[in-house]
Amino acid sequence: MDRSRVAMLRELQEIEFALVELNLYLDTHPNDNKALSTFNNLAAHLAKAKKNYEARYGPLINFGHSGPVNSWNWIDEPWPWEIEY
Amino acid sequence: MTEQDYTTVENSADTLSHCPGIPRLRLATAYIPPQMFREMFPLSEALNKGTLFPELYRPYRRYPMKGEV
């Protein structure tokens, strides 16, 4: 698996982890505007990063995210558990 | 937390939990200090450290065991 694909996946994981953390913080501090704007920026960043990844490597999840596909490349290699980080 | 004299008996727990010969220790009290959003670790560091917030990063230090140099 090529390096840049793993690097992009890693970046997605990093952004998503930060969003989970901000989510937990906002659960107990819903009025913290600084945290809210940070959350919004990161969420937008995540959406862009996911689009870039999918444009190059195909769908991240099998449905519910990137909408209709013209070819069913979900089954192309590698399966998620075959990815070596 | 005010400096308290832990030998004073305030309630039945203090009395019942006391073992003679052992210093009178109060039952544990859990608390969570309020967190303020200050700064964040860089994202890659946050994922490695398991938290986005430096104030929550508190790994167990490995101290040498008895007899270990």
B45 touching chain A per CB within 8 A? no
Closest Cα in chain A, distance from residue B56 (Å): 11
- Strand, coil or helix: B16: helix
Report DSSP state, residue A1: -
Interface mutation vs chain B, best among A12, A17, A23, most B CBs within 10 Å: A17
- Strand, coil or helix: A84: coil
B13 touching chain A per CB within 8 A? no
> Both ends of chain A: CA-CA distance in Å?
9
**Cβ atoms of residues A10 and A3 within 8 Å:** no
Closest Cα in chain B, distance from residue A11 (Å): 8
For B47, the closest chain A residue by CA position comes to A14
Q: How confident is the model at residue B5 (pLDDT cuts 50, 70, 90)?
A: low
Confidence (pLDDT) at A32:
97
Tokens 């200090």 belong to B33
DSSP per residue, B30-62: ---PPP-------HHHHHHHT-S-GGG--PPP-
- For chain A, what are the domain ranges? 3-80
Query: Per residue in A1-55, pLDDT tens?
Result: 688 999 999 999 999 999 999 999 999 999 999 999 999 999 999 999 999 999 9
What are the φ/ψ torsions at residue B21 (nearest 5 degrees)? 90, -10
Stated pTM of the model:
0.76
Task: Name the average pLDDT for chain A.
Answer: 92
Q: How confident is the model at residue B1 (pLDDT cuts 50, 70, 90)?
A: very low
